[in-house]
């Protein structure tokens, strides 16, 4: 039963389920908690709900009359194709438990597991880089990623000096000599240019593009916290990136480029412009996102910006039935199929499938 403020009557008197889209305390928790990110924010949750219909819920030990102190936030993913589950969070690189002590996490996870069994969801999934929480006591390790972040607190000259001289600095200068132009904002034109390049990029890797509605909803929900940057040569878009910001952190979320024009250094120039803008705004870190451990090219690219690496782990309960080897084989087969589809069919496949894979 849901109250007027979004609380649901708990099964235990010390744990509560709240609606982060309606609870007036949510924004303050995100602003104050040291590990909160844009992926915890109300606008990000609104975009997920508007695009895919996912219902966000948060579990907390804080009573309704008190300022919100902790929470685990999830989306309820209901799918006739892949089953119902609790995910923290779909299409988000990471989503740390908003707790200060391992004991808080353990209390909340016991409730979450009881809730999963009661609602008959297939599994609960959490992504975290916090080894101190002892998540393995409740969930099974299913996948490991490399998470890379760049410290923006040093001066701009120091940041530039640490960039790889040949692969980054030289390409920034090349883009300047080639008169590559950069535009930034949230206009419909920039969004369409980003999406066109994204369709090309994902087709190369045999992965359908996300539905265009996802990006439109991100722009509408995040507003000034989102920026699209497009690099052009002679009026033709050659690269584009989408960044998000929350507090003192910027997140490099999406990137796409024309494969025939990568020698012009468009993506690298855009990232350097992003860093300069972040410095001007007083931001302290640039989250370059997660990478699969076998994607050494992407990990190396981010390392050449002097980004620091940490381990990000996906945890699930109960343990998945499908082995990692089987899941990897299924993924390769799917890529082999999608890479053969015409662009229009890939776009259609993305619109049909993404809500089922969150």
pLDDT for residue 15 is more than 60: yes
Confidence of residue 322 (pLDDT cuts 50, 70, 90): low
pLDDT at 334: 52
In 3-state terms, what secondary structure has residue 159? helix
At 167-224, the pLDDT tens digits run 999 999 999 999 999 999 999 999 999 999 999 999 888 889 999 999 999 999 999 9
pLDDT for residue 263 is more than 90: yes
Confidence of residue 6 (pLDDT cuts 50, 70, 90): very low
Domains within the chain, CATH numbers bracketed: 16-138 (3.40.630.30), 148-312 (3.40.630.30)
Residue 87's φ and ψ, nearest 5 degrees, are -125, 135
pLDDT at 130: 93
pLDDT for residue 52 is more than 80: yes
Spatial CB neighbours of 188, under 8 Å, sequence gap ≥ 6? none
pLDDT for residue 257 is more than 80: yes
Q: What percent of the chain has pLDDT over 90?
A: 83
pLDDT at 344: 75
pLDDT at 50: 98
Burial class (CB in 10 A: 0-12, 13-18, 19+), 10: middle
pLDDT at 5: 42
pLDDT for residue 347 is more than 90: no
Beta-bridge partner residues of 227: 243
Spatial CB neighbours of 125, under 8 Å, sequence gap ≥ 6? 85, 86, 87, 88, 142, 314, 315, 316
Q: Please state, in angstroms and as integers, the Cα–Cα distance from residue 43 to each residue in 51, 59, 211, 248, following that order.
A: 12, 19, 18, 17
Question: Among 238-247, 268-277, 279-288, 313-322, whose mean pLDDT is lowest?
Answer: 313-322
Cα-only R_g, the chain: 21
More confident residue, 77 or 335: 77
Q: Please state, in angstroms and as integers, the Cα–Cα distance from residue 21 to each residue in 10, 199, 325, following that order.
A: 18, 31, 38
In 3-state terms, what secondary structure has residue 161? helix
d(CA 177, CA 208): 35
Question: What DSSP designation does 264 have?
Answer: G
pLDDT at 335: 58
* Beta strands in the chain, from DSSP E residues, in sequence order: 16-18, 55-60, 72-77, 85-88, 124-128, 140-151, 181-185, 226-233, 236-246, 249-257, 285-292, 308-317
* Average pLDDT estimate for 259-266: 96
* Average pLDDT estimate for 140-157: 97
């Amino acid at each position: 039963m849901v109250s007027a403020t979004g609380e649901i009557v708990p099964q235990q008197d010390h744990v509560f389920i709240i609606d982060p889209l309606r609870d007036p305390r949510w924004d303050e928790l995100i602003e104050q908690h040291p590990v909160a990110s844009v992926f915890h924010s109300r606008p990000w949750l609104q975009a997920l709900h508007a695009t895919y219909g996912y219902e966000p819920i948060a579990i907390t030990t804080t009573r309704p009359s008190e300022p919100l102190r902790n929470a685990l936030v999830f989306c309820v993913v209901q799918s006739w194709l892949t089953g119902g589950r609790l995910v923290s969070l779909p299409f988000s690189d990471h989503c740390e438990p908003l707790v200060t002590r391992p004991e808080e996490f353990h209390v909340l996870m016991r409730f979450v597991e009881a809730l999963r069994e009661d609602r008959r969801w297939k599994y609960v999934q959490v992504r975290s880089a916090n080894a101190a929480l002892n998540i393995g006591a409740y969930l099974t390790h299913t996948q490991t990623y490399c998470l890379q972040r760049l410290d923006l607190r040093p001066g701009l000259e120091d940041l530039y000096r640490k960039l790889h001289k040949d692969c980054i600095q030289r390409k920034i200068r090349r883009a300047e000599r080639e008169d590559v132009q950069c535009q930034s904002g949230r206009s419909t034109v920039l969004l369409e240019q980003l999406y066109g390049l994204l369709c090309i990029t994902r087709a190369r890797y045999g992965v359908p593009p996300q539905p265009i509605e996802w990006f439109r909803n991100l722009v509408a929900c995040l507003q000034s916290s989102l920026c699209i940057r497009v690099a052009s040569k002679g009026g033709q878009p050659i690269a584009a990136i989408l960044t998000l910001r929350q507090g003192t952190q910027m997140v490099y979320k999406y990137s796409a480029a024309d494969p025939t024009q990568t020698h012009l250094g468009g993506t690298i120039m855009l990232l350097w412009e992003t860093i300069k803008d972040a410095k001007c705004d007083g931001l302290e870190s640039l989250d370059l996102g997660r990478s699969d451990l076998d994607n050494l090219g992407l990990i190396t690219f981010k390392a050449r910006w002097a980004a620091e690496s940490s381990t990000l782990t996906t945890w699930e309960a109960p343990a998945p039935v499908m082995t990692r080897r089987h899941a990897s084989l299924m993924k390769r087969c799917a890529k082999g199929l999608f890479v053969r589809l015409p662009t229009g069919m890939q776009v259609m496949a993305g619109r049909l499938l993404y809500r089922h894979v969150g």
